[in-house]
């Protein structure tokens, strides 16, 4: 990130971060490099560069060699995202789940001791958590043993063979907020990975609270337009080296076109997130007062932020909310009545999406129970006018 001033606000960083080499290149708009292979001037230089990249470092004067090892376009986006998160590095992947998988594998590799060490294979998962993350940790696919707990039970769940604590905040789909500093204290030196997709770096920077790896599904708010599949992990230089090794070996690379689109969208990220947050807070209050709604899940609602994390850990309550109607039939009827809001999974796009967690995104999770009921609906608020969205919701609530 070249010579940008150290005191730039997040809004200014979003505009300028990751663009430090553009002046030297003589361009204003972000370049897009689609090369899969790169010519090298000398064999010695290429060998040295390849060795550096296989160890997780940046390419040397020998150049990128091959795009599975390094892409200049992807690297610019990574630099921009790291600046927003306040971390030394970021490593981008082909999807959010590829990023989470890499973080777990990197943690297991980092815990290996001795020349032939295999690494610890126990993970602590803090529930609730995104359904596919739950399935990944529980399924045995990665050869892990997982202990599930709530936010208060991490200390008791950590063992000698624990390599990672996995947490998500705000939680999907109930929007609970988890005190990250408390989780880090309970972890007692075990690295913590936090999925911060719902907050984005605009509202929350987990690394400042001791988190080792901050994961985002770039598909969501960072992409922002529903047309990019991506994941990214913000972290220290040491963790980035391990993550890059995993990425090289597994081939879970982000395509340069996707990286270009993500980077192009960073300047508007603060504007989009804050606008959606404002509308979500408005809708949460209206939903709370409607007789057909039994519960509203949003940190702005009284009682939904018991630890006072908005203002201390988060800069606002966020653009996501969930609410509960009587049951599956009522939820289905509501979604069928909508004309502006789109029934679809995912989130963070310019348009508002609504989905049914129990039937869709959390269906593969292992025994959620509790708040994830057949009547729960998750609303990912977009950029439409709040009055238009409310009238659309009333079509389903009053129908």
Range with lowest mean pLDDT among 4-18, 107-121, 184-198, 264-278: 107-121
Global pTM value: 0.95
Among residues 103, 345, 346, the alpha carbon closest in space to that of 222 is found at 346
Select 269-397's CATH number: 1.10.3720.10, 3.90.1150.10, 3.50.50.100, 3.40.190.10.
3.90.1150.10
Whether 370 has a pLDDT exceeding 80, the answer reads no
Q: Which whole-number Å values give the CA distances from 272 to 100, 192, 387, in the listed order?
A: 25, 28, 18
Whether 367 has a pLDDT exceeding 70, the answer reads no
Let me know: does 305 contact 177? Beta carbons within 8 Å. Answer: yes
Whether 116 has a pLDDT exceeding 60, the answer reads no
Among residues 343, 339, 337, the alpha carbon closest in space to that of 377 is found at 343
Whether 1 has a pLDDT exceeding 50, the answer reads no
pLDDT value of position 323? 98
Enumerate residues 6+ apart whose C-beta is below 8 A from 59: 49, 52, 53, 65, 69, 70
Mean pLDDT score, 357-366 = 76
Dist CA 62 CA 89 (whole Å): 22
Range with lowest mean pLDDT among 135-144, 154-163, 228-237, 283-292: 135-144
Dist CA 321 CA 355 (whole Å): 11
- Mean pLDDT estimate for the chain: 95
Q: Environment class of residue 251 by beta-carbon count within 10 Å: exposed (0-12), middle (13-18) or buried (19+)? A: exposed
Mean pLDDT score, 286-290 = 98
**Could you tell me the two tokens for 350?**
């310019």
Let me know: does 77 contact 222? Beta carbons within 8 Å. Answer: no
Helix axes 237-250, 43-54, angle to 10 degrees: 110
Dist CA 63 CA 82 (whole Å): 22
Alpha-carbon radius of gyration of the chain? 21
Among residues 237, 199, 227, the alpha carbon closest in space to that of 215 is found at 199
pLDDT grade for 357, boundaries at 50, 70 and 90: very high
311-326 confidence digits (pLDDT tens): 999 999 999 999 999 9
pLDDT value of position 362? 76
pLDDT value of position 183? 98
pLDDT value of position 49? 96
Q: Token match 């002046």: residue?
A: 23
Whether 44 has a pLDDT exceeding 80, the answer reads yes
Q: Token match 């959620």: residue?
A: 368
Coil, strand or helix at 164: strand
Range with lowest mean pLDDT among 46-50, 52-56, 241-245, 369-373: 369-373
Whether 280 has a pLDDT exceeding 50, the answer reads yes
64-98 confidence digits (pLDDT tens): 999 999 999 999 999 999 999 999 999 999 999 99
Mean pLDDT score, 155-182 = 97
pLDDT value of position 154? 98
Name the residue ranges covered by the structural domains of the chain. 269-397
pLDDT grade for 113, boundaries at 50, 70 and 90: low
Let me know: does 224 contact 265? Beta carbons within 8 Å. Answer: yes
pLDDT grade for 4, boundaries at 50, 70 and 90: confident
Q: Where are the alpha helices (DSSP H) in the chain?
A: 10-16, 22-25, 43-54, 72-85, 96-110, 131-138, 154-157, 180-187, 200-203, 237-250, 256-265, 269-288, 328-337, 386-397
pLDDT grade for 39, boundaries at 50, 70 and 90: very high
Q: What is the number of alpha carbons within 13 Å of residue 174 lying toward its C-beta?
A: 19
Among residues 326, 354, 329, 330, the alpha carbon closest in space to that of 340 is found at 354
Residue-wise burial string across 349-379, b where 16 or more C-beta atoms lie within 10 A, e elsewhere? beebbbbbbbeebbeebeebeebbbbbbbbb
Whether 13 has a pLDDT exceeding 80, the answer reads yes
Mean pLDDT score, 348-364 = 89
Mean pLDDT score, 234-261 = 97
Range with lowest mean pLDDT among 257-261, 350-354, 360-364: 360-364
């Amino acid at each position: 990130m070249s010579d940008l001033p150290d005191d730039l606000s997040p809004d200014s960083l979003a505009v300028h971060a990751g663009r430090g080499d553009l002046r030297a290149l003589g361009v204003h708009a972000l370049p897009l490099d689609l090369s899969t292979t790169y010519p090298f001037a000398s064999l010695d230089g290429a060998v040295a560069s390849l060795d550096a990249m296989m160890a997780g470092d940046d390419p040397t004067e020998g150049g990128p060699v091959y795009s599975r090892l390094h892409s200049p376009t992807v690297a610019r986006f990574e630099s921009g995202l790291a600046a927003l998160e306040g971390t030394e590095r970021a490593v981008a992947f082909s999807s959010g789940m590829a990023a989470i998988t890499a973080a777990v594998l990197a943690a297991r590799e980092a815990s290996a001791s001795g020349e032939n060490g295999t690494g610890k294979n126990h993970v602590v998962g803090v529930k609730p958590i995104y359904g596919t993350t739950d399935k990944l940790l529980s399924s045995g696919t990665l050869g892990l043993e997982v202990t599930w707990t709530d936010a208060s039970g991490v200390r008791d769940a950590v063992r000698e063979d624990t390599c990672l604590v996995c947490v998500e905040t705000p939680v999907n789909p109930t929007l609970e907020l988890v005190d990250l500093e408390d989780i880090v204290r309970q972890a007692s030196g075990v690295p913590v990975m936090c999925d911060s997709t719902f907050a984005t770096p605009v509202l929350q920077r987990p690394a400042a609270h001791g988190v080792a790896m901050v994961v985002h599904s770039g598909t969501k708010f960072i992409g922002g337009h529903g047309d990019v599949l991506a994941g990214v992990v913000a972290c220290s230089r040491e963790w980035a080296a391990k993550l890059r090794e995993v990425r090289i070996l597994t081939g879970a690379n982000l395509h340069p076109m996707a990286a270009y689109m993500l980077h192009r969208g960073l300047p508007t990220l603060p504007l989009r997130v804050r606008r959606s947050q404002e509308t979500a807070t408005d809708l949460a209050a209206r939903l709370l007062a409607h007789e057909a709604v039994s519960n509203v899940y949003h940190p702005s609602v009284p009682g939904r932020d018991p630890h006072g994390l908005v203002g201390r850990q988060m800069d606002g309550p966020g653009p996501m909310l969930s609410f509960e109607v009587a049951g599956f039939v009522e939820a289905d009827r509501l979604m069928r009545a909508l004309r502006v809001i789109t029934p679809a999974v995912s989130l963070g796009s310019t348009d508002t999406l609504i989905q049914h967690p129990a039937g869709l995104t959390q269906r593969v999770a292992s025994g959620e129970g509790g708040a994830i009921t057949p009547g729960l609906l998750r609303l990912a608020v977009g950029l439409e006018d709040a009055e238009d969205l409310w009238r659309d919701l009333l079509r389903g609530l009053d129908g």
